[in-house]
Amino acid sequence: MKDKVVLYKKIPEQQKLLLSQMFNLICFDKIDESNLKQFIHEIKDAIGLIGSGVKLHQEILQHALNLKVISTISVGYDHFDLEYLKSRKIALMNTPDVLTDTTADTIFTLIMCSARRTTELNNFVTSGKWSNNLKDDYFGVDIHGKKLGILGMGRIGYAVAKRAHLGFDMQINYYNRSVNSKAEEKLDAQKMELDELLADSDFVCSILPANQQTDRLIGQRELELMKNSAIFINGGRGNVVDQDALAIALKNQTIRAAGLDVYEVEPLPHSSPLMELKNVTLFPHIGSATSETRLAMITCAIENLKAAYIGDLTKNCVVS
């Protein structure tokens, strides 16, 4: 008899078939209040879970008495209680490599859209306001040759830096716990303390993970350290930034503009003051949202689950 695995995300039928060949697969397209009790019932005897988009805290997982592995279809894992998983010896697997370039593309798109005001100008055209030569009130700023400060020089940070330096001749500053020798050797990147980077950079791009050290790392004080011509980009995690402070800084033109793909609360509430501002570009958390990358993430997560099931935790294991 096959061991039971519960899928808690809608995936293509072909990928479901791959899982069904090895496991007794129980499928949920998503988890919400309407089916949470049924989900908890199904995980009681499950050996594995695979999916994303749900905070699987102790209150839920304590019911999964046979659970051995969770394979998240994401690179981030801040929606899990890692200490609890360790105490239960439940392996947690993620998909870090397959979305690096796609996410870097998204972040650089935010940089370009924010600098050249593309969303605002698209609305200018579609609303019928374009009737003559564009006035300088609508001018953007150049990207090439500017200084890009990157908060978090990991895989995605390096991929963004590569696009910026090699494609747009940008000088790279970075803030990171450790030296990234590859970035310094290949891209002439310069490691800086946070305050120095904020004051020196024309664009500041956060790709930091969510943890106690990064929670609201960027607030009023940090925004005031930035140039009033600077543009702030967040493509990492929403809680790295104090969004209320950011909205005030944008409204008061403490900084020029911002571009965001992640938020403290998602979806972004309609009541957010960011909704009222013209100098912010808002994406609906699309970092890895391409057909090719999402399929690659699902495939990777399935392979991770299968590997962990047979005891192979050598790749993509966050907790073992």
243-252 burial: b if 16+ Cβ within 10 Å, else e: bebbbebbee
Torsion sign across C-alpha atoms 236, 238, 240, 246: positive
SS3 313: coil
CA 112 and chain centroid, separation: 18
Q: Which residues contact 261 (CB under 8 A, 6 or more apart)?
A: 106, 107, 110, 234, 235, 283, 284, 285, 286, 287
Q: How far is it, in rounded angstroms, from Cα 175 to Cα 198?
A: 10
Give me the catalytic one of 117, 163, 165, 237: 237
Predicted local confidence at residue 4, as pLDDT: 98
Residues 51/72, Cβ–Cβ less than 8 Å:
yes
Predicted local confidence at residue 216, as pLDDT: 97
Catalytic annotation on 237?
yes
H helix intervals, 117-164: 118-126, 155-162
Q: How far is it, in rounded angstroms, from Cα 294 to Cα 302?
A: 12
Give me the catalytic one of 59, 83, 266, 276: 266
CB 292: neighbour CB atoms within 10 A?
10
Amino acid at the residue 30: K
Residues 154/206, Cβ–Cβ less than 8 Å:
no
SS3 7: strand
Predicted local confidence at residue 226, as pLDDT: 98
Q: Give the H or E element holding residue 150.
A: strand 147-151
Q: How far is it, in rounded angstroms, from Cα 78 to Cα 262?
A: 14
Q: How far is it, in rounded angstroms, from Cα 164 to Cα 20?
A: 43
Catalytic annotation on 266?
yes
DSSP string for residues in 41-74: HHHTT-SEEEE-SS-B-HHHHTT-TT--EEEESS
Q: Per-residue pLDDT tens, the chain, 320 aa: give them.
A: 899 999 999 999 999 999 999 999 999 999 999 999 999 999 999 999 999 989 999 999 999 999 999 999 999 898 899 999 999 999 999 999 999 999 999 999 999 999 999 999 999 999 999 998 899 999 999 999 999 999 999 999 999 999 999 999 999 999 999 999 999 999 999 999 999 999 999 999 999 999 999 999 999 999 999 999 999 999 999 999 999 999 999 999 999 999 999 999 999 999 999 999 999 999 999 999 999 999 999 999 999 999 999 999 999 999 98
Q: How far is it, in rounded angstroms, from Cα 300 to Cα 95?
A: 6
- Which has the closest alpha carbon to 210: 15, 47, 55? 55
Encoding tokens for residue 62? 């304590």
Give me the catalytic one of 224, 285, 294, 303: 285
* Cα distances (Å, whole numbers) of residue 63 to 21, 37, 38, 232: 26, 11, 12, 43
Q: How far is it, in rounded angstroms, from Cα 199 to Cα 36?
A: 47
Predicted local confidence at residue 1, as pLDDT: 87
Residues 167/220, Cβ–Cβ less than 8 Å:
no
- Largest pairwise CA distance in the chain: 72
Residues 63/43, Cβ–Cβ less than 8 Å:
yes
Three-state SS across 226-253? CCCCCEEEECCCHHHECHHHHHHHHHCC
Strands of the sheet with 257-260, listed across from one edge: 190-191, 171-175, 147-151, 203-206, 231-234, 257-260, 280-282
